[in-house]
Homo-oligomer: A and B are copies of this chain.
Amino acid sequence: MVAIKRIEQTLETAIDRASGPGCPPKLAAAMRHAVFPGGARIRPRLCLAVAHACGDDRPELTEAAAAAIELLHCASLVHDDLPCFDDAATRRGRPSVHAAFGEPVAVLAGDAMIVLAFETLARHIGQAPDRVAKLMQAVAQAVGGPSGIVAGQAWESEPLAVLQTYQRAKTGSLFVAATACGAAAAGADPVAWHDLGDRLGEAYQVADDLHDAAASEGEMGKPVGQDAAHHRPSAALELGVSGAVTRLERLVQGAVEAIPPCRNAGDLEALVKQEAKRLLPKSLARHAA
């Protein structure tokens, strides 16, 4: 089965479970709205690609890990869009969850999706306890304190934040989880895959900063210019647009070089290069071409 189908089916099953009989209707609808239709699913696809590179001998575990990562990503977007953070009315070209269902339901949907991510992994403890233990550790580290996504967002409430620390926590951590979990699900050493995730996460963050600074709202499906408006650290604001483009290219090259020895390294290298092309805002890609 192709990667995207494996991801969507696993997410469907998980959301069905969490929003099953007895669930308050708005909460159920809000969780579904937060997860479907998805964005690029870049993190779970990365997880599947790394698992494939490592042999993917327990595909159902890989799928659970990929879904858990995507659920946590979507939960972070729901909370990040709340009025007390970005106050974003739109996401992926549609109303944000709080705009569609109200702020209380948005807070609760995010909470429920965090729980669902861990529950999705926990269902596989019986089949592969050692691997699930590693998956849970990687995922918890990526989203919790002291240096996961929540820490990244919390740096926005501090008077002083180091750009790299902030971005590594807010964005990089879940890319590291994606590569680490892909490896762990296939029985490989997750730590050897941290460096690849770290570099891809940084590349993605630079691309995201570029989009916020240089793309249009129509292209993005959400408000742009938010980093400047919220005085948030941004590579595009710090290095300028062309400086940030150069940095992005170097990071992708470094990522390719950071792929550890593995069974299907060639496939993974091709995928990383292909994804990198999609990272630049269309207007800048036209400029570059």
Contact = CB atoms under 8 A, between A and B. Distances in A.
Contacts of A85: 104, 107
A237 interface: no
B137 A24 contact: no
A26 to B, nearest CB: 6
A140 B119 contact: yes
A23 B146 contact: yes
A126 B133 contact: yes
Given A111-B111, A133-B125, A116 B104 contact: no
Contacts of A116: 140, 144-145
A133 B128 CA distance: 11
A165 interface: yes
A288 interface: no
A132 to B, nearest CB: 6
B82 A145 contact: no
Contact of A125 (B20, B21, B129): B129
Interface stretch (A153-161, A182-190, A209-217, A267-275): A153-161
Contact of A145 (B23, B102, B151, B165): B23
Contacts of A123: 133, 137
A34 interface: no
Nearest to A119: B140
A115 interface: yes
A99 interface: no
Given A146-B22, A157-B105, A132 B140 contact: no
A108 B153 contact: yes
A280 interface: no
13 contacts: A20-B145, A20-B146, A22-B146, A24-B158, A26-B154, A26-B158, A111-B111, A112-B148, A114-B115, A118-B140, A125-B125, A125-B133, A129-B129
Given A20-B145, A24-B157, A84-B102, 17 more contacts: A18-B144, A18-B145, A23-B147, A24-B154, A26-B158, A27-B154, A28-B145, A28-B146, A75-B111, A84-B104, A84-B107, A102-B157, A112-B145, A115-B143, A116-B140, A119-B137, A122-B133
A-B pairs with lowest CB-CB distance, top 6: A23-B146, A115-B144, A129-B129, A119-B140, A18-B145, A122-B136
